[in-house]
Amino acid sequence: MRKPVLTIFYQFNPWFPSIGGIQTLIRYFIKYAASEFDIRVVGTSNRANFSHRKWQEAELEGRKIQFFPLLTVENDDVRGLLPTTIKYTAALLRHNFASDFMHFHRIEPTLVSLNWQGDKTLFIHNDIRQQMTAKDNKKAILWRYFPAGYFALEKLLIEQFTEILSCNTESVKLYQQRYPALNEQIKYIKNSVDNEVFYPLVTTRRDEGRRALAAQMGVSEDTRFLLFAGRLHPQKDPVLLVRSLFALQQPNIHLLIAGAGELAETVKAEIAKLGLAGQVTMLGAVPPTQLAKLQQVCSAFVLTSAYEGLPLVALEALACGTPVVTTACGETPKLLTANSGIVCRERTPEAIASAISQILSNDKNYTIEACVRNAAPYGVRQIVSDVYKNMWVRWEQHQRSTGISTSYV
């Protein structure tokens, strides 16, 4: 008996070292995929050893998959004049990738899949209302200029999905209000963290790691590190992050920026303008294992986003025992406790600097144990396993209706 096939659709190159919550979640669904399923990915490629528009076997996260490079994208982290989502959707028009199960992480490509047969799941990663109304991020999402168009498209496409999963409780409420007939399909799903990669060090090893990092970077041994990881994109507002460091006015603090994207040059210019070249290091995109080592030794992880779902990087920081400073958006403010981080109610350099200063000055109040405890319910194995088990139940129901028996280990 053949295995059910899950096809995952997203405009990214799985082997490109980009930092992004959607990309990471997809990799988790591959790494921890149930053995009863065959996995296919329809993505993009910048690698010459992939023949375009052709299925080919590859390995990702220790799992054999079938990969279809739909189009060439030189850099996943940089957006061109024509959004990659539009190019990806247009390229899908040439194909029919219908399969037993399909996972989509943007709604636009599902315009093509409307008449495809199969069990479809839509993952919603952000609060769409915040995306549409973000005041200081005019480039963040083009749909903010055409909200009526977006919601008309959504209404046209939404009924094709068996499940609509969101890691943002406000998005779940919004969609249940907008589509009451689909309430049973619209569900909350926890975002997840890979505890095999992101875990805490004991205090002595943490300090040894911090001093080793300081020596490696050629800064004073007593330097303390702040970390940001993510796309350099208007949504994340990395310029606000740099301005917050300037407002902090603490020369022994060093900011590490792990990520790449369209705002890289803007961020570099702001660093130079504020005279912070000696206090900021832009690392580019880093792999998860290297990111975990940074999370384990930094004094705080800082997010200055305009809108979010539940960012994986915040969970990764907490899992490593690192407190989080965040703006008041998405699910992170609901996740943090008084001794695992601070929520800034104002998105200003002064407010963010004040929160950072509070953690640095009272680090004993923000314990490794409290941070790890906050992240504990978000372990990736169980969350991904539950999704696959639910898919298997639906597969069994479908097979029984056709007289075929199945088994799930």
Q: Where in the chain is the domain with CATH 3.40.50.2000?
A: 5-189+379-401, 203-377
Confirm if 29 and 191 have CB atoms less than 8 A apart. no
How far apart are alpha carbons 187 and 380 in whole angstroms? Answer: 17
The pLDDT score that the predictor gives to residue 131 is 59
Q: How far, CA to CA in Å, does 268 sit from each of 136, 219, 258, 281, 282? A: 19, 19, 13, 10, 8
311-366 pLDDT, tens per residue?
A: 899 999 999 999 999 999 888 898 999 999 999 999 999 999 999 999 999 999 99
How far apart are alpha carbons 267 and 189 in whole angstroms? Answer: 33
Is residue 81 scored above 90 in pLDDT? no
Q: What is the pTM of this model?
A: 0.85
The pLDDT score that the predictor gives to residue 406 is 59
So what CATH class is 5-189+379-401? alpha beta
Average pLDDT over residues 69-86: 78
Is residue 31 scored above 90 in pLDDT? yes
The pLDDT score that the predictor gives to residue 77 is 62
* CB burial of residue 293 (10 Å; 0-12, 13-18, 19+): middle
User: Which CATH number is 203-377's, of 3.40.50.460, 3.40.50.2000, 3.40.190.10, 3.60.10.10?
Assistant: 3.40.50.2000
Q: Beta strand 324-327 with 341-344: parallel, antiparallel or unpaired? A: parallel
How confident is residue 64, by pLDDT bands cut at 50, 70 and 90? Answer: very high
Of 73-77, 102-106, 244-248, 311-315, the poorest mean pLDDT is in: 73-77
How far apart are alpha carbons 33 and 223 in whole angstroms? Answer: 41
Nearest alpha carbon to residue 112 among 95, 129, 126: 95
91-143 pLDDT, tens per residue?
A: 999 999 999 999 999 999 999 999 999 999 999 987 666 555 555 544 445 66
How confident is residue 407, by pLDDT bands cut at 50, 70 and 90? Answer: low
Average pLDDT over residues 179-196: 95
How far apart are alpha carbons 308 and 130 in whole angstroms? Answer: 8
Nearest alpha carbon to residue 223 among 247, 245, 254: 254
Of 167-171, 355-359, 374-378, the poorest mean pLDDT is in: 167-171
Per-residue 3-state assignment (H helix, E strand, C coil) for the chain = CCCCEEEEECCCCCCCCCCCHHHHHHHHHHHCCCCCCEEEEEEEECCCCCCCCCCEEEEECCEEEEEEEEEECCCCCCCCCCCHHHHHHHHHCCCCCCCCEEEECCCHHHHCHHHCCCEEEEEECCCHHHHHHCCCCCCCCHHHHCHHHHHHHHHHHHHHCCEEEECCHHHHHHHHHHCHHHCCCEEECCCCECCCCCCCCCHHHHHHHHHHHHHHHCCCCCCEEEEEECCCCCCCCHHHHHHHHHHHCCCCEEEEEEECCCCHHHHHHHHHHCCCCCCEEEEECCCHHHHHHHHHHCCEEEECCCCCCCCHHHHHHHHCCCCEEEECCCCHHHHCCCCCEEEECCCCHHHHHHHHHHHHHCHHHCCHHHHHHHHHHHEHHHHHHHHHHHHHHHHHHHHHHCCCCCCCC
Of 17-26, 97-106, 334-343, 393-402, the poorest mean pLDDT is in: 17-26
In 143-176, which positions are buried (b, 16+ CB within 10 angstroms) versus exposed (e)?
bbeeeeebeebbeebbebbebbbbbbebbbebbb
The pLDDT score that the predictor gives to residue 308 is 85
How far apart are alpha carbons 366 and 347 in whole angstroms? Answer: 22
Q: Amino acid identity, residue 395? A: W
Average pLDDT, the chain: 91
Check residues 2 and 347 and name the one with the higher pLDDT.
347
How far apart are alpha carbons 298 and 275 in whole angstroms? Answer: 22
250-290 pLDDT, tens per residue?
A: 999 999 999 998 899 999 999 999 999 999 999 998 989 99
How far apart are alpha carbons 127 and 104 in whole angstroms? Answer: 17
Is residue 49 scored above 60 in pLDDT? no
The pLDDT score that the predictor gives to residue 389 is 97
Confirm if 260 and 232 have CB atoms less than 8 A apart. yes
